[in-house]
């Protein structure tokens, strides 16, 4: 396996997943999916873009951090040697710098909007969402660990909370998987799919679990992604396998979503992501080609995903004050959501996300030079 800082195909997938979740949330207000007839559930299952992110996170972390398992970028040779403490701390530091600044910025913006609105006598639609208990959980990034059962503050961040739990567990998980033969990783992935199926059935045939139940959705998908990166080299050189996963996975994703079957859709998402990872493992050019615009959307996808609840709050308050409903002014609501989310996402990406990540890289590099060399690549 050749570790790279970025896999263009997967960066583009991030843009698709964020866009899918965004369109799903707009549809909750406008119900434009009804115009699609039998394909309406492709939009109504947009929450599964989060599941794509969960699988992708496992794949990416294992791809760009082989040094946490002391594999020297080659995970084909099992060996047990715990990673250096400095490497683990640097990994956690980089991932924290990846998540927290934007998360904190969105909380600050929402807090300012809520306080300003209350000063003007404009209470939010759901005041309990902005309670102090929820604020504490959000600040500690544990709101997706089972502490609350409803949306709180920047409600999309429940998934960021579960991602943080995965980052904390990743060094030990990846060390265990790289110590074992690749066939064990295959078995772990099968178990991961089995657990997904069990959760799907127990939740009334849905994977739309958040907050109190978010980890039950996240863990099997994240672990499956990590395990898949461990055995990707076994089949990456087979062109027919890459094509089968890409086209078969695409068919499963669209077909499963159109039928309203979450589990089939998630299996399809995994297959597509695995196809792109196999392509990267061979060193061949991206399967999707060079798409600068889509790549840029992928780079800002995190800030975009974390932004949309803010213009949503503002627009809903404005519509309430005007006595309007979003469905009656669909074009205005949709355009406001698109413009507001993009403007805020670009501001957060350029003024918060990128500077904080660079500062973290610089600080960690300086600390590493004072102790022992630590080579870590930060994935987008």
Q: What single-letter DSSP state applies at residue 35? A: G
Tens of pLDDT along the chain (380 residues) come to 444 457 999 999 999 999 999 999 999 999 999 999 999 999 999 999 999 999 999 999 998 876 665 554 444 555 556 667 888 888 999 999 999 999 999 999 999 998 888 787 777 777 778 888 889 999 999 999 987 666 678 999 999 999 999 999 999 999 899 888 999 999 999 999 999 999 999 999 999 999 889 999 999 999 999 999 999 999 999 999 999 999 999 999 999 999 999 999 999 999 999 999 999 999 899 999 989 999 999 999 999 999 999 999 999 989 988 999 999 999 999 999 999 999 999 999 999 999 999 999 888 887 766 655 444 444 44
248 touches 272 (CB < 8 A): no
Q: For residue 159, give the nearest of 101, 222, 94 by alpha carbon.
A: 222
Q: Where are the alpha helices (DSSP H) in the chain?
A: 8-30, 40-44, 49-64, 85-119, 132-139, 158-179, 182-202, 214-231, 239-243, 249-259, 262-282, 292-299, 301-307, 309-322, 330-348, 354-370
> How many other C-beta atoms are found inside a 10 Å radius of the C-beta of residue 84?
16
Question: Can you give the pLDDT at residue 374?
Answer: 44
Show the CA angle centred on residue 168, arms to residues 97 and 159, nearest 5°: 70
Residues whose CB falls within 8 Å of the CB of residue 55, separated by 6 or more in sequence, listed in order:
221, 222, 224, 225, 228, 266, 269, 270, 273
Question: Can you give the pLDDT at residue 380?
Answer: 43
> How many other C-beta atoms are found inside a 10 Å radius of the C-beta of residue 168?
13
The predicted-structure confidence for 311-347, as pLDDT tens digits, reads as follows 999 999 899 889 999 999 999 999 999 999 999 999 9
Question: Can you give the pLDDT at residue 5?
Answer: 56
Where are the chain's structural domains? Answer: 8-370
Residues whose CB falls within 8 Å of the CB of residue 379, separated by 6 or more in sequence, listed in order:
5, 6, 60, 61, 63, 64
Q: What is the CA radius of gyration of the chain?
A: 21
């Amino acid at each position: 396996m050749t570790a790279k800082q970025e896999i263009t195909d997967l960066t583009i997938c991030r843009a698709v997943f964020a866009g899918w979740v965004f369109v799903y949330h707009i549809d909750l207000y406008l119900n434009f999916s009804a115009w699609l007839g039998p394909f309406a559930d492709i939009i109504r299952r947009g929450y599964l873009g989060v599941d794509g992110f969960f699988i992708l996170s496992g794949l990416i972390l294992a791809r760009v951090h082989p040094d946490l398992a002391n594999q020297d970028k080659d995970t084909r040779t099992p060996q047990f040697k715990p990673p250096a403490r400095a490497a683990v701390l640097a990994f956690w530091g980089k991932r924290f710098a990846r998540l927290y600044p934007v998360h904190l910025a969105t909380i600050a913006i929402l807090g300012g909007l809520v306080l300003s609105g209350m000063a003007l006598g404009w209470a939010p639609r759901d005041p309990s969402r902005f309670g102090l208990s929820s604020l504490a959980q959000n600040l500690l990034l544990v709101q997706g660990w089972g502490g609350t059962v409803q949306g709180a503050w920047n409600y999309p961040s429940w998934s960021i909370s579960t991602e943080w739990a995965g980052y904390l567990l990743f060094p030990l998980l990846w060390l265990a998987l790289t110590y074992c033969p690749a066939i064990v990783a295959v078995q772990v992935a099968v178990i991961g799919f089995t657990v997904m199926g069990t959760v799907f059935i127990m939740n009334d045939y849905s994977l739309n679990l958040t907050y109190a139940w978010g980890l039950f959705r996240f863990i099997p998908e994240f672990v499956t992604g990590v395990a898949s990166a461990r055995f990707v080299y076994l089949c990456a050189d087979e062109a027919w396998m890459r094509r089968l996963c890409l086209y078969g996975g695409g068919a499963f994703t669209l077909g499963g979503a159109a039928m309203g079957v979450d589990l089939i859709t998630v299996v399809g998402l995994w297959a597509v992501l695995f196809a792109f990872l196999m392509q990267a493992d061979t060193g061949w050019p991206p399967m999707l080609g060079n798409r600068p615009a889509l790549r840029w959307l992928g780079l800002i996808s995190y800030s975009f995903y974390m932004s949309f609840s803010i213009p949503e709050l503002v627009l809903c308050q404005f519509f309430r004050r005007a006595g309007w409903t979003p469905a009656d002014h669909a074009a205005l609501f949709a355009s406001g959501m698109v413009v507001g989310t993009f403007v805020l996402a670009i501001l957060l990406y350029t003024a918060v996300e990128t500077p904080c990540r660079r500062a973290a890289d610089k600080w960690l590099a300086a600390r590493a030079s004072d102790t022992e060399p630590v080579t870590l690549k930060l994935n987008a």
